[in-house]
Every structure is written in C-alpha cells, then in structure tokens.
Amino acid sequence: MALIDKHPELARYITEQGWFEFLREQTLAMIEIPEMQLQVKTLDSLLKMYGRILDAVENDKPFVSSYYCLAPELYTAMDLPYYMVMQTPFLASSVPYLLTDIDAAEEMGLGNDLCTAIRLSIYYVEANLSPLPTCALNLLYPCDGAPLLHEVIKRNERWRNIPMFACDPPYYSDERSLDYFADEMRKMAKFVETNTGAKLDMDKLKETLEYSNQMFQLWDEYNQLRRNVPSPHGWGIGAPQCFSQAWVYEAGTPQGVEWFKKLVEIAELNVKNGVGPVPEEKIRLFWFDLLPFGWVFEFLPWLEEEWGAVMVMDMFGNFPYTMIDTSSEEEIWRGLAKRNLFDAPMVRQARGVADNFANDIARIVKDFKIDAVVWPGHMGHKDGAATVGIMRETCRDLSVPFVHLGLDLFDKRYSTPDQIKDKMSQFFRAMGLG
C-alpha cells in the first residue's frame, strides 16, 4: 500500500517534495554560478527535512510540528524531525495550485481579509493536508493570526488529541519578560521530551548552539558585505535562504556553518570584483517585509532590470544577531528566549511596541546607504499597517523616501504585479530615483 493511501494528509507534502526536487534539477542546470551551487545546498537541506518527516510517518517514529522562531536548535539537539505547520504558503508559493488553494480556503468560510499565509495554513489543516505529528508546538506571536491558526489546529478533529504546547509571549522586551519567556521555553522542551520520548542532553544542546552561534556570526558578517556599493547580492540570494538555514533546516548543524561560510566567500569575491546583481546599481532599496513569494519572479527581476533597483536589505535579513551564552544552563535558556522573542525577524517588529519598526528603519537606512524604504503593506500585516504613520515620520526625519504599496505577498490577484510595478515606477520618478 502506498504511503499516500495510508496517510492522505501527506498529499500536499509529497507534491511539495516533488516540486522542490524539480526545482533542484532546474537549479543544477545553472550549476556553474556559485550562488546556484549554494541554492542547491539549500534545497538539499529542505529535501532532507521532507525526507525525514516522510520516513517518520512511514516508520511510526516521533516528529514535531512547529512554527518559525521557536528555538529549532532544540530539535536538532534532540535529533527530532520537525516541520513548520505554515511552510506551504512560504515554501511552495510558486506551485501551480497556490491560487486554487487560496480560493478553497475562502470557500471554506475563511473570508479574504485574513492573512493569506494564515488562511492557507488553516485550510491545509482543516482539509487534512498537513502531516499529523506526534506533538505540536504552537506559536502565539507575532500577530493575531498566529494564535488563531493554532486555535483552529487545537480544535480540529484530527489534531484534537495530539498533545500541544504554546509559548506565551510577553509584550515588552525587558529582563522580566526574558525570564518569563525563558521559563516558557524550558517548559516547552520538557513537554517535547515527555511526548516524544526524545531526550534533551544539555551538552548536545550546547554544542548545537555553538554551531548556531557560528551561523549567526557568519550571517552578520555577510550582511556587513551587503553594505558595499554595489551590494554583492540583491533579492536572489540573502535573507530567505539565510533564514531557512539558520532558523529552519540546518539550525545548529555543521552543514549550516559550511553553508554560511560559502555564502560569505561568494559575497567577498563579488565585493572584491565590484560585482553586484545588476550591471549598474542605481537604487538601494530596503524592502521592509518578506519577499512577495507568490509572484516573486514576476516582480523582483523587473525591479533590477528596469530600474537598477537592488533590494539591499529586507525585514528578515537584519537583526541584532545576539550570541547565545552557553556557559550555563540558565544563560542558555535566556539566550534562546532572547533570540526567539526579541531578535527574531518579524517577531521583533510585530510582537511588541512599534519602536522596533522605527529603530530598524533608522539603523538599516544608515548602515546600508539606503535610497528608499518600501513598506509593501502585505494585507495580513495589520499591526504594521497601523504603524505606517510612524514609519513615514521616521523616513521623513532621515530624509529618505518612503512608499507604502498595499499587496498580498502570496496572492497576485490582490494587487497585480503590473499594478505594483506601476506604483514603484511612479514612486521612483516622483522621487527622482534611478
């Protein structure tokens, strides 16, 4: 009996695996480009994750469903397969069935103004298209959508009896909040041990975090290279791949460290040769959100080709990179809490007060010689939408142009790529850029 017949919930998961295998083959066709070699390694890590989950289901081994920015080093240290319950909207957003699934979610009664990533994730759970884990870790931040997704998961008839744990997020970023969240993380680890049988060896966790620290240090080093004019890379490689390595597939592994070393090496060479993603870098952009994953190829190459506009930095690419002190168990938990709650991209901006929106803009504009700040205005990012006045004022103080677009990162029918291109062109012309 085929795995899919026994486990119909794996239907999308197996299709995605096939999709990424296909992409890997396509990438291999361009193997002589160093950046592409790195993309192949990224896809290898991703495919390894798919393989481990399918193996766990087939052989009845424990595995965990989790979310982004929830201390993935713990699973590495416990040698426990895990997947992100929200991965499909992000990873497979260029697959042919994306728009069909969005429509199916709406027909299910989820409307059309809830964040599409959340809506799709709910749809995949409700339609029995997400692998059923041994236990589930739920996230209650950074936005209203995350706890709602997990409330649906908690209530779903197939998931209802799966043990679940959610870390409660404090709103502030002070020492008291850190202690509170570190305690939540400790409890989460204990919960995983209890419900999977996997053991958390603190020496192994320490070793994992040391690799993880090296990855974050290299990421920071890489970002320093992106300060150069021209930037060694644009949207094609950078934050999404770094994030996926450091925070998802290779969290705290030697392979992850090697991946970052290679990235730095490639970027250094580009800087040395004065090479960037376009022949002439004319506009340096700070794209203050995720990339428009659902229609990335219909828009971002155009920005570079038409305007020489290079996405030097985005929301997921730059944050404090605080190293985790592994000198004691206490410091390890506090370090994990700090990294996942205070530092983590999107979480750091969206979870608490709006200061981080303003501070990050100010820091990145200065550090990366930014010519224009783009707030894409994803339809799901409502706290950010309520911060546009603050962002605009910050940019005014810095004398850097600011544009608010209004789009859906996943659904290109919300604002079409042509509409967004038109808005960007008008903005560049009005500001005398490019």
Partner 1 sequence: METNLKSKAFQEFSNAAETLVNPVLQRWKDQGGKVVGYFCSTVPEEIITAAGLTPFRMRATGSTGTEESDAFYSSINCSFPRHCFNQVLTGDFKFLDGIVCVNSCDHVRRIYDNWKRFVPTDFIEMMSLPRKTGPDQVGWYTEELAMLKDKVGKHFGVEITDDRLWEAVKLHNETRRLQKKLYELRKQEKPPITGAETLAVMVAGTAMPKEQYNEKLRELLDELSGTEGPGGHRARLLIVGGILDDPAYIKVIEDQGGLVVTDSTCFGSRLMWVEVDENASDPISALAQYYLTDRPSCPRMYGEHDNRAQYVIDMCREFNCDGVIGERLIFCDSWLVEHYMLGQDLKAAGIPMLKLDREYLTSGIGQLRTRVQAFLETMGR
Span interacting with partner 1, options 45-53, 73-81, 106-114, 330-338, rule CB under 8 A: 106-114
Rg of the chain in Å (alpha carbons): 21
- Figure out which of the listed residues 150, 233, 338, 339 binds partner 1, where binding follows CB under 8 A: 150
Phi-psi region of 408 (alpha: psi -120 to 50; beta: other; left: phi over 0): beta
- Compute φ and ψ for 166, nearest 5 degrees: -130, 135
Contact stretch for partner 1 (CB under 8 A) within 115-123, 231-239, 243-251, 361-369: 115-123
Length of the chain as a residue count:
434
- Residue 166 as a binder of partner 1 (CB under 8 A): the answer is yes
From CA 204, how far away is CA 190, in angstroms rounded? 15
Nearer Cβ to partner 1 (41/334) = 334
**Cβ–Cβ contacts within 10 Å for residue 406, how many?**
15
Binding mask 27-66 for partner 1 (x = CB under 8 A): ----------------------------------------
Least CB distance to partner 1 at residue 201 (A): 26
Q: Applying CB under 8 A, which of residues 390, 423, 425, 434 lies at the interface with partner 1?
A: 390
Considering only residues 260-299, where is the footprint of partner 1 by CB under 8 A?
none
Closest CA to 384 of 354, 341, 424: 354
Contacts with 336 (C-beta within 8 Å, 6 or more apart), sequence order: 71, 73, 74, 182, 185, 209, 324
| CB 352, min distance to partner 1, A | 8
**Residue 372 and residue 366: Cα distance in Å, rounded?**
11
Position 11 contacts partner 1 (CB under 8 A): no
Under the criterion CB under 8 A, does residue 300 sit at the interface with partner 1?
A: no
Q: How far is the CB of 390 from partner 1 (least distance, A)?
A: 6
Q: Is 362 in the site for partner 1 (CB under 8 A)?
A: no
Binding residues for partner 1, rule CB under 8 A, total 53
Nearer to partner 1, 278 or 409 (CB): 409
Please report whether residue 397 would count as binding partner 1 according to CB under 8 A.
no
Dihedral angle over CA of 358, 359, 362, 363, nearest 10: -150
Query: Is 406 near partner 1 (CB under 8 A)?
Result: yes
Q: According to the binding rule CB under 8 A, does residue 376 interact with partner 1?
A: no
Supply the minimum distance, in Å, between the C-beta of residue 382 and partner 1: 4
Among 32, 59, 96, 109, binds partner 1 (CB under 8 A): 109
The answer to the question of residue 379 lying near partner 1 (CB under 8 A) is: yes
Closer CB to partner 1, 60 or 171, in the complex: 171
Cβ(205)–Cβ(189) below 8 Å: no
- For residue 416, give every residue at least 6 positions away whose Cβ sits within 8 Å of its Cβ, in sequence order, or none: none
Quote the Cα angle for 326-138-141, to 5°.
Answer: 80
Quick one: CA dihedral 419, 424, 425, 430, positive or negative? positive
Closest CB to partner 1 among residues 41, 351: 351
Which of 80, 85, 122, 239 is the binder for partner 1 (CB under 8 A)?
122
Q: Does 186 bind partner 1 (CB under 8 A)?
A: no
Pairing of strands 372-375, 82-84: unpaired
